[in-house]
Amino acid sequence: MGHKIIAVFGPDNRYLSHCTEKRATSLLNSQRATRVNATTIKLIYTKKGWVNVKHTLIKNANRICYICDKCIPEEEVATVDHVIPASRSAQANTYSNLQCCCEECNHDKDNRKLSEYVRHIKANREDYSYISDVKLKHLEAFASHYESEFYLATDNIIYLPQSKSKNKNDKKRKKGRR
């Protein structure tokens, strides 16, 4: 059986390339593309568009780091942090999962979810005196609420198709027992 080839179109409906079904599924799961039909997907944004999304996000945040509340000067790099790291979820590359972040906080947070990073800050409080107690409580509440909502939405996207196929297998096994 051959591998399914998927045609990829840009947001402007122009043909861009082909990709594998696995790559298409990754783009669909990360909400970077929509399915047109069984053999075609359409990107919501291109790489250049993604750069524009990041610049817009930083501008809308007034270059203020969501972790330490530092205003990031124009001469310093303002980065975009994934609240849920991209390596931890296929749905992480969505606009709602991105926050403006100073380079220091983004590097220090590394591959942690925000809730894990907050626990790290609390355990090493003396090293994070630049983050106020009020800000830390706000981050903790934000992380708790955000992550529960994020994973609820992710569960609905990822796991429903798997449980449907599992139910079909269960029905086949039950028929075989009769």
Residue 63 contacts residue 29 (beta carbons within 8 Å): no
Looking at 63-132, list the stretches that DSSP marks H as alpha helix, in order from N- to C-terminal side: 103-109, 114-123
Residue 33 contacts residue 24 (beta carbons within 8 Å): yes
For residue 98, give every residue at least 6 positions away whose Cβ sits within 8 Å of its Cβ, in sequence order, or none: 53, 54, 57, 80, 81, 82, 83
Strand order in the sheet with 40-43: 15-20, 5-9, 40-43, 33-37
Q: Which domains does the chain have, with CATH numbers?
A: 1-44 (no CATH), 51-158 (1.10.30)
Model-wide pTM > 0.75: no
pLDDT digits (tens, 9 = 90+) for 116-158: 999 999 999 999 999 999 999 999 999 999 988 887 664 433 3
pLDDT digits (tens, 9 = 90+) for 78-117: 999 999 998 887 677 777 889 999 999 999 999 999 999 9
pLDDT digits (tens, 9 = 90+) for 6-64: 999 998 899 999 999 999 998 888 778 899 999 999 998 777 877 888 899 999 999 99
